[in-house]
Structure 1
Amino acid sequence: MQTIFTREALYELVWSTPVKTLAVEYGISDVAFAKTCKQHFIPLPPRGHWAKLEAGKKVYRQPLPSRGLGMPRDVSFGGSRWEYYGPLPKNLTEIDLRPPPPFDETLDTLRAAIAKRIKKPTMARDLAMAHPIIRRFIEADAPRRKKYLASSYRSFYDAPYFDSPFEQRRLRLLNALFLCLEKNDARVTSSGKNPRDFSVRVGLTDVSISIDDPKAERTSWHGSDIAKPASTPMIARIGPGTAVDGLPMTWQDTAQEKIEAHLADIVINVLIAAENTCRQKEFSHYNWLVNRKADLIERAEKQRLEAEQAERERRIKEEKARVDRLLSEARALRDADEIRSYVALVRARNDTSRDPVPDDRLAQWATWALEQADRIDPVVSRRFLLNED
């Protein structure tokens, strides 16, 4: 069961009730509860806080710091990590949904504040002190280089991936960006050996970043062009490269200026892109809830109309069945009266017959015939009263 708090509400909660008590109440471990608070920069009471409070001693309450970049304004416990927005509230149709309040700072204002504290990334002359991801690429290339240099027939399929001037420049660019990003509380990850796409986690939000040749993106790893010059144009992209609130997310080498001149802008805009994605998720979550609520209301209304239609059809069918039964009973009554009339007519004709049927045989037959009349007669059997139900 997912539980959602605003940061402010959770802050008040953890300073009024011990975490161990809250963890039991919300069905998670106290370690997971504390870890989630730490992720959202929500300070917890230090060891001994509750004992001091119980003893009537004065305690210090650490203030709630500002929300970090890329961090949501709400904190959720429980739910599945596979659910992008989390489970739907059970009483969604009864909830008065309101759009999220505006954020305190615009992205432009936020960018200006970030720009003041970020130092321009520096391009190292070599990669001796490389970022771990870059170092892993270089170390993985060593066996290929050794085999390539020892071979009498050197094929580009066996060439090291990162020995070309182009690849060396790319690794140095990425290294400068990664080191600067991690100094500013962002974490870079990479899967595989392709130095083109990387994921940068800012807070709890991921954005991708890539640097590549705009005309020949490196998607195949069957070989390497070890002669590719460093002057080959490069393009850097954050996410899909689409501008965010007028802020560029794509930079490309030109005759006048190289990507190296925009390293600080790239770092700053990676942080801004993550914050924007975090904000957009909050509003898209609200829109998702609005649409799901409308769908549930529409579905409930459709089910109500279908139920009403089914009830009308049931009543029509039931009334038709009652009328059909009534007509059947009327026919049965006519048939019963016709049998009785027939019996009376037979008796009268037998009395004037030249060769009458003996009385005992006629009486036996008449008794049987009148019993059949009574059997089908709905009045005698009281069957007609069943139509009152």
Structure 2
Amino acid sequence: MSEANMVQFTRQELYELVWSEPINTVAEKHGLSGRGLAKICERHQIPVPGRGHWARIEAGQKVTKTPLWRIDNPALEHVSLGWRRTLHPQAAFAAEATRKAKAEFQPPKATKVEIRKIGSRLHRSVIAFEQEMRRAPVDHEGGIKRPWVYIHRESVPRVLTLLHTLAHELEPDGITFLSTDESMWFIRGASKIHFEISSPKKRVKSPAGSWRSFENVFVGRLALQIFGSSEGIKKNWVDKDGIQIESDLRGIVFSIKINLMVQAEIDEQRQKAEDRRAFYAHRKDLEQKRIERERARETFLATVAQDRMEIIHLKETVALLPDPAALSPALARMVDWAVKRVADLEERTTPIAIDRALEKQMLFPEPDNLADPGEYMN
């Protein structure tokens, strides 16, 4: 498999990846089987979630995360995963854009993002979201639902604090939080990524006397998911027993920045493709118009030639007739008409008249407004 089909990870990056979503899902994205990726992790001494891990998370049960072991072999610190040759070009482009973004942006390892208390003033970009939360109806379970948000009403202050913190942390990089009727976004320039915040439920024993043994209830947990196009970057965070998603604010900020950098690359690629399509469509349109103009040129010149030939023929015909005084009234009227016809045709075919008609119909403009612009240049 060629170097172009490989994606490089550090042990830490692959560790975060296989603990952020099921290993089969990660493996499929990289053209591998779940067992194949598990063997790669084993070779590089990267622990992976055990059987039933994701089912227990889905059920709201407590799970533990095996820490990444320290190793002394530098050769194992980097992992290469191969992409399928049939991978969709857009996914391959996203992978390469992620690699470039990570190379361009590597925050100092000592950097730590702290929760910002709201105090007396909420970040201006979060105010509209807060107002929406206040107006939103509460369901029978205490949940508040709007596009890309489903949280318990008691989690609203925590969510506001989280968004307030992220908004302040991302603002120096030109990144803005925006909440609309359709989604929630992080935006930089013309690029944006949307994300989701929810309150997962946990499976607990039902109260005594209930007909059910267990039920799923809100327990104050939060989950955040970024819907970005990056590959190999963590995009999901879920509270676990004793560990809240705020403990990885640095990772969340890093993911938002990388995903926006990748999205900017994708947006630029799409714009270039759209510009290229528009260019060639315009070029094709110009070609068709040149064909139509060529026909118009031929018609115009043929008409001028026909008019000049008619002038000659009419003059010759009139010259062959006897003295006008000897002509019958009908023939005299025909001669008068022929003389006027010649005058009209001569006026129509003077250089000035022809030049005026050419300008009006734009048959030979300078510069040529239908000239072929040539091949597209990026």
TM over 0.5: no
TM-score normalized with structure 1 length: 0.40
Bigger Rg, which one? 1
TM-score normalized with structure 2 length: 0.41
Answer 1 or 2: which has greater strand percent. Answer: 2
